[in-house]
Amino acid sequence: MNWTKVLAASELPDGARKVVKVDGTKVLLLNHEGTIHAVANACPHLNLPMKKGKIDENGALVCPFHRTAFDLCSGKPSNWTPFPPVVGPMMGSLGAQKDLPVFSAKTEGGEIWVEA
Ligand code: FES
């Protein structure tokens, strides 16, 4: 695991998100209420992009496709593939639930660093 400088901190103000590549992996950076989170930009259900996912009232990132909510710190899913009703849960039951990969992130010297 190596730390990689990915972005100037000024490029990710509160509420912003950006996708960067770290060692060939697309990483979604989010500044949520002043905390920088770094997660895979691919939902572990069907590898679809997470960038447009909303953050719910529990601080979880919700996949924009089948609405699995992933804890931003642990990547643990809750309510696996609930959408659309009936079809989503059926699709979700075909495979094992998986965590959204999360990466360590830090701000140092005015830059954002990700460990991957
Ligand atoms: S692609 Fe994300 S929950 Fe299905």
pLDDT tens by residue, the chain, 116 residues: 899 999 999 999 999 999 999 999 999 999 999 999 999 999 999 999 999 999 999 999 999 999 999 999 999 999 899 999 999 999 999 989 999 999 999 999 999 999 98
DSSP string, the chain: --EEEEEEGGGS-TT-EEEEEETTEEEEEEEETTEEEEEESB-TTT--B-TTPEE-TTSEEEPTTT--EEETTT--EES-S--STTHHHHHHTTS---PPPEEEEEEETTEEEEE-
> Is any atom of ligand 1 closer than 6 Å to the C-beta of 31?
no
> Is any atom of ligand 1 closer than 6 Å to the C-beta of 3?
no
> Is any atom of ligand 1 closer than 6 Å to the C-beta of 63?
yes
What is the domain range of residue 93?
Answer: 3-115
**How many domains does the chain fold into?**
1
CATH of the domain at 33: 2.102.10.10
Nearest atom (ligand 1) to Cα of 68: 3
